[in-house]
Amino acid sequence: MEVGVDYLLPLSIMLKTLLYLILAWFLYKLIFDFIIPVYRSTKVVRKQMADMQEHMRQQYEQQQGSQQGNSPAQEPPASRPAPKVDKGDYIDFEEIK
């Protein structure tokens, strides 16, 4: 009667092997179709951001250098007081029924 149990052992080994192969295939697809492209694109975006910041810093330094050379006697606009604007007379509102 134990003859029927003998053929189940190789079947369970085959199912485990098949399950491991499917799991390995999913891991392969996850790594090579998702994780590596995300890593590469993140790396590219960070490099582009650093290049843009460096470019903006250079432009700022050039602009500051040209402003200092052109007009040293001008005072910055933040130090000047803002002109007062007269808003006119205030008319009180009364509700009429």
Cα distance between residue 55 and residue 70, in whole Å? 23
> Each residue of 60-87: pLDDT tens digit?
999 998 888 765 455 555 666 666 666 7
Asked, for residue 34, whether it belongs to a domain, the answer is: yes
Asked, for residue 55, whether it belongs to a domain, the answer is: yes
CA angle 12, 14, 19 (to 5 degrees): 95
Asked, for residue 3, whether it belongs to a domain, the answer is: no
Query: Structurally, how many domains does the chain consist of?
Result: 1
Asked, for residue 13, whether it belongs to a domain, the answer is: no
> Each residue of 2-24: pLDDT tens digit?
555 666 778 889 999 999 999 99
Asked, for residue 83, whether it belongs to a domain, the answer is: no
